[in-house]
Amino acid sequence: MKLIVIGIRIKIRPKYKLSRKCIIFAWNIMLKSPSEAKASKEEITRTRIIQTAKKLFQRDGLQNVRMEDVAEAAGKAKSSLYYYYKSKEEIWDAVMDIEIGEIVSDIANAVGHAQTVEQKIHAFCGTMLKSLRKKRALYNIAYGTNEVVKRNKSTGGIRRRFVKQESVVFREILAEGIEKGELKPMKSKEQEILVFVLLSGLKGLEKEMVLEKDYNLEPAIKALSHMIIYGLKV
C-alpha cells in the first residue's frame, strides 16, 4: 500500500495495517508549522509542571514547596523551570485557576440541569460544597489561617477570582428566577448586595463542612437552599 501526500510518496508496509485515524494523525503533525509544534510542546510541559506542583502543594502545603522541589519532581532543571514560571506563586496561581475553573464548570453544569430556582440554588450550594470537599487540601491552603498564607498576595487574588466567578453564576440564577416570576423583582443594586451576603454566608459554611470530614452535607444544603428561596419568593 502506498500513500501520496502532496508529491511525497510514503511507503507503508502491509504488516503494520495503519488505520485511517493514524494516517490522519500523522498528516496533521506534518501540517503543523514549527511554531505550532513548539507551542504544543510548551503546553504539554506547562501541564506536566502544573500537575506535578499540584500534588506537591496538596502533600506539603504552599509554604513548604520550593521551585527546586517542583523542578525535580517534574524532571526539569531548575533553570528551565523558570522559563515557564517565574516563581512558586505563579505556579500556584496556574494550579488554582484550573481548580477554580473545574469547580465553576461543575456548578454551572449542575445548575443548568435543574428546573426550578429552588433546585438551581440547591444545585449551586451542593455542587460547590462537594467539589471543595474533594479539593480539601488545596482549599485549606487558599483559605487557611497560616500567617504565610495570609501574607501571600497570590492567594488573595485567587479568592477574589473565585468569588467573582461564583457571583456570575448566582446572579444568573436570580435573574432567571425574577424573569420567570419565581422570585420577587429586585433592582440591580439589591441583587448585588444579596449575592454578596449569600456568598459570604456560604463561605463560612464551606469552611466548617470542608474541614469536617464526616459532616453530612445534604441536610445542611437543603436547609440553606430552603432558607434562601423562602426569603426571595414572590
Q: Are residues 135 and 224 in the same domain?
A: yes
DSSP string, the chain: -EEEETTEEEE--GGG---HHHHHHHHHHHHS-HHHHHHHHHHHHHHHHHHHHHHHHHHH-GGG--HHHHHHHHT--HHHHHHH-SSHHHHHHHHHHHHHHHHHHHHHHHHHH--SHHHHHHHHHHHHHHHHHHTHHHHHHHT---HHHHT-HHHHHHHHHHHHHHHHHHHHHHHHHHHHTSB----HHHHHHHHHHHHHHHHHHHHHHHH-TT--HHHHHHHHHHHHHHHHB-
Looking at the structure, do residues 206 and 187 belong to the same domain, yes or no?
yes
User: Is 59 found in the same domain as 2?
Assistant: no
Q: What is the structure's pLDDT at 211?
A: 61
Is 17 in the same domain as 68? no
pLDDT tens, residue by residue, 28-37: 544 545 554 4
113-125 pLDDT, tens per residue? 999 998 999 899 8
Which residue range is the domain that position 136 belongs to? 95-232
